[in-house]
Structure formats: structure tokens, C-alpha cells
Amino acid sequence: MIIKNYQLETNDISKYNFFLFYGDNEGLKNEKTDYLVKKTNYKRFLYNEKEVLNDTESFSNSLLTRSFFDDKKIIIIKNTTDKVINLLKNLINREIEKIIIIFDADILDKRSKLRNFFEKENELACVPFYPDDFKSLNFIAQNFFRKKKIKISQEIINLIIERSNGSRQHLKNELEKIDLYTTDKKQIEFSEIVNLTNLGKNYDISELVETCLIKNEKKVSKIINENNFSNEDAIIVIRTFLVKTKRLLHLSKNIKSNPDLESVISSYRPAIFWKEKEIVKQQLKIWSEKSLNKLLYEINNTELLIKKNVNISLNILINFIFTNSKITNN
């Protein structure tokens, strides 16, 4: 059954054990997942599709294992595709109580078997997550400053949104920094926002990712050496990779039906800022659709590793960055 993402908070969803979250709005997916965890007070467990499919029997049995401490579970399976449909059907036929399973997928077209199955079955919840537009991101930012009772110009809000690259998750990360900075402030100046949101004289996270994706290893090394990245930055950087790679994959697929690269880039939403267009063109020449799909898988695996190994997350990230900034045959 198709459910709008906002209905996860307004409707009674207690009858659902299985959810399909699909689409490329990672920030909104994270929000709704966090909401379900908080509402149910269930313990969260993260997997990716490959590790689940490598041993489906063991995974299925672990779901049914009861313990005093973790009998209530929310299982999130990242990077899911149509390959999990047999597992899903098997789990539906087994007795599953106090367990919620979220199949987290990228963009699924209408031909997807997984999407069709979720849409047709009334006991399953199919929730699409489409990209935010400027209006929705502007609403989030305006609402944040309104609640904080901080006076701020639309120019500054536009700047924050621009540097978020159309990502709700990145926007919220920047607003969290501002929240920590503005404990007792009632007004913020443009210069303060520049320094707070990675817009200073040094390179920012977005430029690090863009540089890696054009495989400029020398500049990547320079950016890392000139910036004091921390373990806390690792998750922001890897999610920036996720957003940028999904964008490239979307563009790469569209080029198949429309070889006019300029037209494809111009029609992409959320809009690609003019400063980025030439870099995006370079990236599309370097990365094939196949290599982008492989990169997406590596990004999801790296994010899981970062979350499981917080103390060495920066080392994990840097290893990922240098591996993917090397020139190879894609």
C-alpha cells in the first residue's frame, strides 16, 4: 500500500511490520526512520543487502531470536533492490512480532518488482521519498530561525541552502552548527554564517567530494592536509558523496534517452548551480553508469563502517576517498 511520508506521523501505522522507503531524499528518510525508532522505542539494527543475502537463513533466524534486552527491533536494510523480494515473501510467511523491517532503496522505477509488490499488498507500507525543492528547504530553514527567534536575512538563508546542495540532511547539519553557535544570539551576520558553514577561505566538504569525483588525487590530498577534518565530520562527508553520486547516476541514466548533456544538466532538479556544471560534465565523462552503481554500494558500506567504528571513522573515510580519487578504467 502506498503511504505518503508525512502519513507515517499522522496515520495509525502499527499494523505494518514491513516498510519500503525508496527514493533519493536521504535526509527525509533519516527523519522518518528516527521518528519510528522514537515512537516505538525499538532498538535499531543496520544491515546492507549484500550481507543479508549472503546468508538469508541466518538473518531470518536472528530476527526471531528473543532476548530480554533486544526483543523489540527495527531492522534497516540499506541499498536494497529487487533481489530481496524472495526474502521478503519468506519473512511475511513467518511469525514476526515486535519487529519492524525497513527496506531502504534508492530510486525504483515502476517496473521494480519490489516496489510493485509493496504497492499491491495492503499489509505492506510503500513510502516514496522524492527530492526536496527550494520551497521545502526554505521552509525548514525559516522555521528553524523562527523557533530560535533569530533575525536573519533571506540572502543568508539562500546561501545556507545553496551550500547544502539541495540536500535536507546537509541543510540540517549546517543548522545544527548554527544552533550550537547561537545559544544567546538574536541576530546573525553574513560573515558569521560564512565561517560556520564551511564557507571560509579553506576548501569545504562539497569541494572535497567534487574533487575526488573528478579523480584529482593531488588536489584531494591538498584539501585533506589543509583542513582539520574530525571523526565527527566523516558521516557528513560520506553523505555528501551519497548525494553527489546519486545525482551523477540519475544524470547518466537520462543521457541515454537524451544525449544533449547541457539539456540534461539544466533540467535536473534540484537545480545544479552554475558553478558546478562544468565539474559535473567532467565527472560524467569519468564515471560510467556501472561504475557509479559500484560506487554507491561502496558508499553505503563505508557509511555502515563509519557508524560501527566511530573512533576510527576519519581513517575509514580517508581510505575511501583516496581509493576513489585514483585514476582507473571505469
Domain ranges of the chain: 7-128, 134-196, 205-325
Q: Which residue has the higher pLDDT, 29 or 258?
A: 29
Q: Which fold has domain 205-325?
A: Zinc Finger, Delta Prime; domain 3 (1.20.272)
Cα separation values, 243 from 66, 83, 88, 259, 273, Å: 37, 23, 27, 23, 15
Please write the tens of the pLDDT for every residue from 90-131.
Answer: 888 876 778 899 999 988 989 999 999 999 999 999 999 998
Q: Which three cell numbers stand for residue 327?
A: 585514476
Q: Which three cell numbers stand for residue 38?
A: 522514537
Three-state SS string across 93-115, please? Answer: CCCCCCEEEEEEECCCCCCCHHH
As a whole number of angstroms, the distance between CA 157 and CA 137 comes to: 10
pLDDT, position 197: 64
Please write the tens of the pLDDT for every residue from 239-277.
Answer: 889 888 999 999 999 888 888 888 888 888 766 766 688
pLDDT grade for 161, boundaries at 50, 70 and 90: confident
Instruction: Determine what percent of the chain is predicted with pLDDT higher than 70.
Output: 90
Instruction: Quote the Cα angle for 193-303-157, to 5°.
Output: 20
Q: What SS3 class is residue 120?
A: helix
What's at 265, amino acid-wise? I
Q: Which residue in this structure is represented by grid cell 545556507?
A: 160
Q: Are 110 and 3 in contact (CB under 8 A)?
A: no
Sign of CA dihedral 299, 81, 272, 285: positive
pTM: 0.61
Q: Which of 242, 237, 239 is nearest to 224 (CA)?
A: 237
Q: Read off the pLDDT of each residue in 288-310 and give the average, rounded to a whole number.
A: 92
Question: Residue 126 contacts by C-beta under 8 Å, 6 or more apart in sequence?
Answer: 1, 2, 3, 19, 20, 22, 115, 118, 119
Q: What SS3 class is residue 272?
A: coil
pLDDT grade for 198, boundaries at 50, 70 and 90: low
CATH class of 134-196: mainly alpha
pLDDT, position 195: 63
Cα separation values, 85 from 135, 166, 261, Å: 36, 31, 35
Mean pLDDT of the chain: 85
CATH class of 7-128: alpha beta
Q: Read off the pLDDT of each residue in 1-8 and give the average, rounded to a whole number.
A: 92
